[in-house]
Structure 1
Amino acid sequence: MDSFFIGLQFLTRIHVVKQTVWTEEAFGKSVRYFPLVGLTLGLVYAAAAWCLTAAPAFLGWEPPVHVRAAVLAVLPFLLTGGIHCDGFMDTVDGVFSGRERERMLEIMKDSCTGSFAVVSFGILLLLQYAVLLDMPAGVVPTAMLVMPVVGRLMMVVGISLFPYARPEGMGKAFGRYADRKSCLWVTAYTLAILAVAGWQALLSAGAAAIFSCWCGRYVTGLLGGLTGDVYGTLCTVSELIVLMVYLFTYSAFF
């Protein structure tokens, strides 16, 4: 359980057990529990979505849909401390800078944020808000439950299937304890969890996996591997993909 709590403390602001000393092995093995960390977040998101959608119906009152969408769009950033969004912005700054490999890695490591990253994050947040605004109220809790589970599974995919771009760093510890065999095991139990949520959850995982494999190959071609920032990008964009799958499949089939 130590590895799970390390993953929970590292990826979220939910600190059930305060751990100040992490061994490299425990930190590396926490990758295997990333989807369970996502499930923990998903339960919180789903509870919040239910309180803003289904629960008010019992009282004969419904909160403004724009407020509901805004709260649910911002909630993931509050509970994760924006760690994955920071990775997304750093990745955009570096990968699309048009520079050489080493310069791209330097840009991604720089604490300063470029205008392109800010604009890209604004677009991402706007899309997430728009999708939540257009999504039927009854679908929102399930989509919010599935979203972080799939996002953290895609992080495991990136860590396990692609090399690490830097000689040292956070991802190096992850890579030592997350090989393709462990990726299969993590994928198997995550798909079992998603199957309970229904076919849309499995479809969204498939769509996110296609994006993650393409993105992983593209960035590896530029940088020679992935970094912690790219892992955050896989998670963030995959979460948006999940929401879009739920919106569009509901519109098409229901």
Structure 2
Amino acid sequence: MYSFIGILQFLTRISVVKALPFNEEFEKGVVYFPLVGLVLGILLVAFNYILSFLLPPSIGVILTVTLYIFLTGGLHLDGLGDSFDGLYSNRPRERVLEIMKDSRLGTNALLAILMILLIKIVGLQSLGEHQLNIALILMPVMGRQALVLGSYHAVYARKEGMGNIFIGKVTTEQLMITLLITILISMISIKSLLFLTLLLGFAHWYKKHTTRIIGGMTGDTLGALCELTEAIYLLFLIIQIRI
């Protein structure tokens, strides 16, 4: 239980136990990543449900996305911005890594964050109530599963940093456990199981892409992978409905 709480508090702003005992095998808690996504999804559905009695659906979605950002502390959005500023600066590897550590927001970062938020807000607003609930639950789950895939058989591009906790440390057994959990959660929308195949391919391509530019993955590129996965899943859901 403490292992799950530790991962929940690591990936979100949700505080359950303020003084957790030190865990020397903290990285093994990676198996709980999809469950953290499920917790976030349930909170988003509950919040949006309450807002549905008070506000128009469009405003409810905006506030629900805002809550999502608050619950995660904008952790992955920050990684998205840093990654786009660095990876697409057309600079040498070491300079790219320096740019990614810079706290200042560049044009690439601003555009990437803006586009992702627009896709999420407008995309969620276009869904009916049932599909909206499915999206709010599975979007965070798919995003956290992407973090596991991005860490599996990956090389850490820096000498040190928080991303080193999981990158390259995920075992095949742990990956299989997270995939099983994600599959079970995805049973609420059978067609969403098809997205997992797409996710496996996208995560593999993304790791090769970042490795070509900076020699591996970092915490920032993991955050970007999470955000991109959530946006792609939402687009997948919309296209599936329209077809």
Same fold judged by TM-score > 0.5?
Answer: yes
Equivalent residue letter for 1:225:
G
Shift of 1:205: 2.8
Which amino acid in structure 1 is aligned with residue 15 of structure 2? H
Paired residues of 1:49 and 1:144 also in contact (CA < 8 A): no
Q: Residues 3 and 203 from structure 1, CA distance in 2 versus in 1: closer, same or farther, beyond 3 angstroms?
A: same
- What does the per-residue CA deviation read over 1:65-122, in whole Å, with 9 as the maximum and x for residues that have no partner? 3212212222210111100100000000110010011111111111222122112211
Q: Report what 1:232 is aligned to.
A: 223
Unaligned runs of 5+ in 1: 57-61
Specify the SS of the correspondent of 1:162: coil
Structure 1 residue 42, shift from structure 2 partner? 0.9
Counterpart selection for 1:173 from 165, 169, 176: 165
Q: Equivalents in 2 of 1:24, 1:231: separation in Å? A: 22
Q: How many angstroms apart in 2 are the aligned matches of 1:209 and 1:75?
A: 28
CA deviations on 1:137-163 (whole Å, 9 max, x unpaired) are 221111101111110011000111321
Question: Which residue is 2:130 aligned to?
Answer: 138
1:210 aligns with 2:201: yes
Residue 17 of structure 2: aligned partner: 17
The 8 Å contact of residues 158 and 218 in structure 2, kept in 1 or not, is answered as: yes
Tell me if the contact between 1:162 and 1:216 (Cα under 8 Å) persists in the aligned partners.
yes
Whether contact under 8 Å (1:49, 1:140) holds in the other structure is no
Structure 1 residue 35: Cα displacement: 0.8
* Contact persistence 1:207–1:241 (CA under 8 A): no
Note the alpha carbon deviations across 1:9-28, whole angstroms, 9 max, x for none: 111111111236644522x1
Q: Which stretch shows the higher mean deviation, 236-245 or 201-210?
A: 201-210
More displaced, 69-78 or 228-237?
Answer: 69-78
Task: Give, in angstroms, the shift of residue 180 of structure 1.
Answer: 2.6
Q: Report SS of the residue matched to 1:203.
A: helix
User: Which amino acid is 1:30 matched to?
Assistant: G
**Is residue 186 of structure 1 aligned with residue 178 of structure 2?**
yes
Are residue 93 (structure 1) and residue 85 (structure 2) matched? yes
Alignment partner for residue 152 of structure 1, among 135, 139, 144?
A: 144
Say whether the 8 Å CA contact 2:6–2:20 is kept in structure 1. no
Aligned length: 243
> Counterpart in 1 of 2:50?
51
Amino acid of the structure 1 residue aligned with 2:18: K
Deviation at 1:227, TM superposition (A): 0.2
Instruction: Look up the match of 1:222.
Output: 213
Deviations 1:193-222 (A, max 9, x none): 222x12233123333333222111111111
TM-superposed CA distance for 1:176, in Å, is 6.1
Aligned to 2:235: 244
* SS of alignment partner, residue 99 of structure 1: coil
In the superposition, relative to structure 1, how do residues 220 and 113 fare at CA in structure 2: closer, same or farther (>3 Å)? same
- AA aligned to 2:172 is R
Distance in 2 of aligned mates of 1:24 and 1:173: 11
Distance across 2 between alignment mates of 1:189 and 1:85: 25
**Structure 1 residues 50, 250: CA separation in 2 closer, same or farther (over 3 Å shift)?**
farther
Query: How many angstroms apart in 2 are the aligned matches of 1:50 and 1:157?
Result: 31
Q: SS in structure 1 opposite 2:68? A: helix
Which of 198, 209, 222 pairs up with 2:189?
198
How much has 1:39 moved relative to structure 2? 0.9
Query: How does the TM-score come out when normalised to structure 2?
Result: 0.92
Q: Give the conservation status (yes or no) of the 8 Å contact 2:127–2:238.
A: yes
Task: Give the match's secondary structure for 1:161.
Answer: coil
Structure 2 Cα separation of the partners of residues 227 and 194 of structure 1 = 28
